[in-house]
Structure 1
């Protein structure tokens, strides 16, 4: 008896049976477990254009395994397409929109389980958040990465190169024709951005958490391996339902610890911090994810050097053994006894994992770097913490100090590169761009990429509460907590005041007396948001979004211990 089986003769049974008989669903099929296949498909972006075929493969496998699949479509945000409007303010809110859409469709229809087809940045965390919120048997299938190609000049490029080349154009080192040529070649297949951006990082997180099948990440989009996993997922979700193994049996505090350790080892995206915080909040886990990153940073060195952290590409990481191989390297540190969606423990999943290339995935004793991939910094302008992707900071830079050069938007900052208004030694501050300040986190990542393209990244630091990309590299401090628009001290820093960033001590400090900070904050008022129109989704988001340390989820949660 499944929860979706309604009593014959009731209104719910009768009207649903009429609907489904019109769709040629038989009475025998109606007795099977009813499974949502969450399809974030869209023809707006190359990230999603292959997902329909993956959905069909999963649905076929579910039918063969004795289940009844129903495709459920949701919004499909792409960081490089959906970011065009309102300075990318819609991007972060789409994550929580997907969670709510899934709740409405799966709970509204009282389905027995779901398979979530995850692709671009916001979809994987949204799917895991929905899984732990609803707590019905769930599998996440990550749908793969794209690959780049060769320009007419013979140069290999991917989307990361295009991203950074805008800065080179601003600096006058390449022409518009050069940039156009790069856009012709940069994306040759469907799938998410090459490199350890947020999408690939969250695909790895899903496997490290145990909510996707072992060996699923990273995987090349449209590959035979991806479709093999689509078949396995379709079979396994029916078993999960029959075994009543639910997401909260899997996504536990120890599982989140494992995911953080893997992020540290691969040098994953800074955005994994907010997304894992949101997953923990939705799972009602009484834990401080930011503090967990902070505590684990000293224990896990960087084992891989995949772009933007080094010369290797995502396909090199897959060929070297992928997430299973990284977890095998961390075997002595992981929580190995915990359950995964395979129905086996972490220890069993990685028992026979092979490391196929010691150069790509190094050992804990002989790492790529003794620094962790991602570190939490604190200081008088980030009392609740901020995030630095240490693996992407240029080698040899242990400390950076310079005057604040303040902008309230990345467009103005990118324009300042071309005008020569950004000098070596500057600390660029991009503020009032967080979830509350946007509302919806405003892009700062395009400016960081432009800095690299202009050749300024080793000489200029960026400090922001705006949206960063996992592809960003350089001296970049993100997710300032509290954000400026929530009354964080970043709001009261003045033009020209000195900022010190210490990579070894993991601190960020403005040369302002604490009493002066307090005095300025007492006079501070939140910035106006003239662009907000009452009744729009962004206005609703602004009213509901919670602090970023809790993952910027919507609505206050009271489960945490007081």
Structure 2
């Protein structure tokens, strides 16, 4: 697509370096202090490479090397690349939850871009919250951007079986609790389930969100499917560097890419991949940073008509992301969905989505199924409403036992994670397979930070009898690698007085998935009486970032972004000359 090209004088970075004044003298002097000559950075697009590497983020352990690939590509295209470390927000070690810090990464990304002489950015992420955090911030900043996904790790392996990170951890942990796995076997699983750099190789939140960025046209075509340690990933990094320089000259900014049609495409693709339930929260937040009002109801409507065609665990039964890549990757999956997508949307390539996927092929139609032979006849997610969740809740039907699609049973309610954990490990707990386990005070404010506690463990008393699934309800999230009959993201959350706060142990709860209903069978006058007695829990934070988070985070159905970062909140000062 041809468009008017910028000149060197039009570059954003020229405001820092071009004028013959004292401030620009200082800027040029400090660049020379770093060892650069003016020939290195003058009259060239300056590209920020926002790198979320850290020594505690195993998903991004290859990023120190990959950033060099990106900078090589930038230099080859005549740009000047500068690495800028960004908050890593690793999933494995951050407590109470990495979700608490997604918005902090988004703020950091936006402000790093806004405050530095950057003409464009390459965003390096992949671990769950880094994709939405980086993209949200870059969308708000508005400079040309391209997303570089970390890529999935290699398949896990133990005792001749391929292991899927997360999904098999939950499965084998149940067997361990049941006494079916020895210490030696447990150690072997521990060492075999994650054996290379890269994100979880199941269709967990990491692969879901990088696929969504890909489907939004924010990555090079199919970049989300490349395994982290494949040499194609190195080449893709250099390609990103070359392409972002051209995007700067073309002035191909995110607002020309992320539209209502783009976000709808991303939701359709997410449903077809068997996406993480977290996709709902993150995509809503990303869309709204671009001024697109994506809603839960739109997700549900698309889910009803979009079949799940990626046979990748946990919603699929047999394969992992490495298999998905060899089968053709995301481009091939999107080609299967071509008549359900708007292929006219623009992408970071400067071409339309239709042009990007035109030559894609499926090489294994059991991994990437045709629409006529889906893994599941509807999409990955369903949105529920009812007197327990008037603002919505989410369930992943393809990843749970169908016998729970219509279920009624007594609630067993826990007010905190420690209370729940102690109870489920009690072999004398009075619980049946028909009970509905409920964990509350675990939402955005109550968690705090919306932790992944929603896949409540099956009580030990039932595990030992052979049960592996039961209906569970929470205002928490769950890992995208999780599975089971788990209703999540109940909104409003109980901590702020949502109806879940009024539920009591013994109350009957009814799930009607076909009709998208979740209700407690309690009379309205009794609920009114309970509400009059309800008191708000004490504040989780009294200082710092947590204090700000609690006062400004929106509920799950609104994307859990900060209210003051909405596109229609107040006025943006822009970039006045205040040097």
Q: Contact between 2:55 and 2:61, CA under 8 Å: does it hold in 1?
A: yes
Aligned residue among 193, 196, 209 for 1:189? 196
| 1:402-428 deviation digits (Å, cap 9, x = unpaired) | 111112334443443331324311211
Q: Contact between 1:439 and 1:541, CA under 8 Å: does it hold in 2?
A: no
Q: Contact between 1:380 and 1:514, CA under 8 Å: does it hold in 2?
A: no
1:381 is the counterpart of 2:388: yes
- Structure 1 residues 169 and 445, CA gap change in structure 2 (3 angstroms): farther
Taking the aligned partners of 2:465 and 2:340, their CA distance within structure 1 comes to 38
Q: Contact between 1:280 and 1:289, CA under 8 Å: does it hold in 2?
A: no
Question: What's the offset of the Cα at 1:147?
Answer: 2.3
Question: What's the offset of the Cα at 1:166?
Answer: 2.9
1:246 is the counterpart of 2:258: no
Q: What SS is found at the alignment partner of 1:92?
A: helix
User: With structure 2 as the length reference, what TM-score do the two structures score?
Assistant: 0.91
Q: Contact between 2:126 and 2:199, CA under 8 Å: does it hold in 1?
A: yes
- The ranges of structure 1 where at least 4 consecutive aligned residues each deviate by more than 6 angstroms after the TM superposition are 449-457
- Which residue matches 1:105? 112
- Which residue matches 2:352? 345
Question: What's the offset of the Cα at 1:136?
Answer: 0.6
- Structure 1 residues 45 and 423, CA gap change in structure 2 (3 angstroms): farther
- Which residue matches 1:18? 29
Worse-superposed segment, 341-350 or 441-450: 441-450
1:41 is the counterpart of 2:48: no
- Which residue matches 2:124? 117
1:441 is the counterpart of 2:450: yes
- Which residue matches 1:293? 299
Q: What SS is found at the alignment partner of 1:525?
A: coil
CA RMSD in angstroms, aligned pairs only: 2.1
**What count of residue pairs does the alignment treat as equivalent?**
552
1:505 is the counterpart of 2:515: yes
Q: Contact between 2:319 and 2:367, CA under 8 Å: does it hold in 1?
A: yes
| 1:407-454 deviation digits (Å, cap 9, x = unpaired) | 233444344333132431121111111111122113315635898987
Aligned residue among 78, 90, 114 for 1:66? 78
- Structure 1 residues 308 and 351, CA gap change in structure 2 (3 angstroms): same
User: With structure 1 as the length reference, what TM-score do the two structures score?
Assistant: 0.93
- Structure 1 residues 123 and 157, CA gap change in structure 2 (3 angstroms): same
Taking the aligned partners of 1:15 and 1:383, their CA distance within structure 2 comes to 57
Q: How does 1:194-213 map to 2 (within 5 A)?
A: 194-213=201-220
Question: What's the offset of the Cα at 1:195?
Answer: 0.4
Q: Contact between 2:165 and 2:481, CA under 8 Å: does it hold in 1?
A: no
Taking the aligned partners of 1:120 and 1:518, their CA distance within structure 2 comes to 43
1:544 is the counterpart of 2:547: no
- Structure 1 residues 159 and 411, CA gap change in structure 2 (3 angstroms): farther
Taking the aligned partners of 1:516 and 1:480, their CA distance within structure 2 comes to 21
Taking the aligned partners of 1:293 and 1:517, their CA distance within structure 2 comes to 30
- Which residue matches 1:364? 371
Worse-superposed segment, 204-213 or 358-367: 358-367
Aligned residue among 324, 336, 352 for 1:329? 336
- Structure 1 residues 396 and 446, CA gap change in structure 2 (3 angstroms): closer
- Which residue matches 1:261? 268
1:78 is the counterpart of 2:93: no
Question: What's the offset of the Cα at 1:154?
Answer: 4.2
Q: How does 1:391-470 map to 2 (within 5 A)?
A: 391-420=398-427, 421=429, 422-445=431-454, 447-448=456-457, 458-470=468-480
- Structure 1 residues 361 and 340, CA gap change in structure 2 (3 angstroms): same
Question: What's the offset of the Cα at 1:175?
Answer: 3.6
Question: What's the offset of the Cα at 1:379?
Answer: 1.0
Q: What SS is found at the alignment partner of 1:117?
A: strand
Structure 2 unpaired stretches of 5+: 1-8, 570-579
Worse-superposed segment, 446-455 or 402-411: 446-455
Q: Contact between 2:425 and 2:459, CA under 8 Å: does it hold in 1?
A: no
Question: What's the offset of the Cα at 1:555?
Answer: 2.9
Aligned residue among 492, 497, 501 for 2:502? 492
